[in-house]
Chain A
Amino acid sequence: MAEKHSSIHAHVPTQMQELLQLASKNPDTILFSGGTFLGSTNRGKNFSYPSDIIYLKNVEDLKKITRSERYLEIGAAASINSILQISKRILPGPLSEALSEIGTPSIRNMATLGGNLCTPHRRMDAVPVLLLMDVRLELRSSSESRWISLSRFYTSEGLPDLKDGEVLTRIRIPLEEWNVYIYKKLGSYPVNLTNYLTFCGLANKQRNILLNFRASFSFGGVDIFRNKDVEAMLNGRKLPITEKGALPVLNSLKESLRSADFVTPFSGARAFQLFKWFLESLNNE
């Protein structure tokens, strides 16, 4: 159903097909989910939204959370708090930590995982974590459906790579066990973006061998940093990793942080310390 007002068309579909047809007929429409990012950046008395909006949260299919043996599938319009209510035995620990640090309880009641992934020019809190988990996204239009890796979801301009009429409908998370992980968030969004930094580290330790080590950073809520060469240097290593053994890894990381143009010296130093701390904790656990 679409309501017309002199300033805005607010479409409020309740079924998936209706949504996809609306999106297809109105490809320039803004897809509105929780609205927390849009609302927080609209400071005036009235919102100044684009003239065409499709409101997603009345489509029940977009809020479903299902689980199979291998995957957890989360609807793009599921609220952050509804995801956090999934049993801790199922919801991956790093994702649970990242989501529980998003905003405040009221924000988490409104914000959605899809919105967290689709915010233009931003890599919000869930992105660095989900990137490490090889998450795939379902993108649907009225005529087709495709799955895409999250690592390929953003254009070089920082926008979600959605074709005309496409909607992010599901997020598929492989149910892998990570017996060691860390998630840290420094700084306060949106108050201090320059020093805003999130770090996620995942690994498996089996018989003192480090397997599947992965680490990513988000700087300023805008840029993601991940160095797979550094990860490869650590995979298969025997624990404990000595200071001498860690040196080439840390030097490589330091160099790559220094050469990333979106990393300030201060943020780079903090990122390095977080990584080092995680590495040391692997020796202790």
Chain B
Amino acid sequence: MIISFNLNGKNVSFDSNPQKRVSDLLREDFQLLGTKCGCYSGICGACTILLDGITVLSCLLPVFTIRGKSIVTIEGFSVTPAFSDIYTGFEKGGHSPCGYCFSGKVLAIHVLLENNPLPNDQDIFEAVAGNRCRCDDLHTLWEGVRYAAIIRETRKHGRKT
């Protein structure tokens, strides 16, 4: 099956088994290893990507569902200023997620901040509820996201919140 979609800003076409998981397509056929495959059942969130701007679990998506869609992986996101907001926020807050959950968590927080520029702790907790990891430290996560929110608002609107 020929699948045409937009991947990290570039239009691509690929002949794939329609039963293949999008997570495996990204990793095996496009060598985008930032998207991890942890559970193959939509529980761990390590395979989180952006599909048309919303977070989805790529391990639950067969490739025939992404025709004509826009996908952003952590590799595509990491070259944007929006990524820097979060990365710097994490540094300032002392939050250091492991390589396993990092990509999913970052994308989830990005979507949170786009929809809610001033999230409270509960908002943050719920936004990353699907990105479980042993490395989790909620306090530094909350701090990190708060910093990221300030950095983003400053970058976007030139004002501190």
Name A's B-contacting residues (CB within 8 A). Answer: 3-5, 7-8, 10, 12, 32, 35-36, 39-49, 53, 55, 57, 81, 103-107, 109-110
Contact = CB atoms under 8 A, between A and B. Distances in A.
A5 B41 contact: no
Contacts of A41: 41
A35 B61 contact: yes
Nearest to B131: A104
Interface string B31-60: 000000000111101001001001111011
Contact of B18 (A3, A107, A110): A3
A40 B60 contact: yes
A10 B1 contact: yes
A110 B56 contact: yes
Contacts of B45: 104, 106
Contacts of A10: 1, 18, 62, 64
A124 to B, nearest CB: 14
B13 interface: no
Given A7-B17, A46-B21, 9 more contacts: A3-B1, A10-B64, A32-B65, A39-B42, A55-B64, A106-B42, A106-B48, A109-B55, A110-B61
Given A43-B40, A103-B130, A35 B21 contact: no
A54 to B, nearest CB: 11
7 contacts: A35-B60, A40-B41, A42-B40, A43-B40, A55-B65, A107-B130, A110-B60
A43 B41 contact: yes
The residue in A10, A35, A43, A104 that gathers the most chain B C-beta atoms within 10 A of its C-beta is A104
B127 A5 contact: no
Contacts of B64: 3, 10, 12, 53, 55
A53 B51 CA distance: 21
The 7 closest A-B pairs by CB, nearest first: A104-B130, A39-B60, A10-B64, A106-B55, A3-B1, A47-B19, A40-B41
B18 A106 contact: no
Contacts of B2: 3
A200 B24 CA distance: 39
A44 B48 contact: no
Given A40-B41, A46-B20, A49-B19, A35 B54 contact: no
Contact of B60 (A36, A44, A49, A57): A36
Contacts of A42: 40
Contacts of A4: 1
Given A39-B41, A40-B42, A43-B41, A109 B59 contact: no
Contacts of A39: 41-42, 57, 59-62
B101 to A, nearest CB: 13
Given A7-B19, A40-B42, A106 B130 contact: yes
A45 B45 CA distance: 16
A10 B17 CA distance: 11
A196 to B, nearest CB: 15
Contacts of B42: 36, 39-40, 103, 106-107
A228 to B, nearest CB: 36
B126 interface: yes
Contacts of B19: 5, 7-8, 46-49
B60 A46 contact: no
B79 to A, nearest CB: 23
A5 B63 CA distance: 12
B24 A45 contact: yes
Nearest to B18: A10
B135 interface: no
The residue in A32, A42, A48 that gathers the most chain B C-beta atoms within 10 A of its C-beta is A42
Interface string B9-20: 000000001111
Contact of B62 (A44, A49, A109): A49
A109 B55 CA distance: 7
B40 to A, nearest CB: 6
B108 A106 contact: yes
A183 B160 CA distance: 40
B40 A44 contact: yes
A10 B18 CA distance: 7
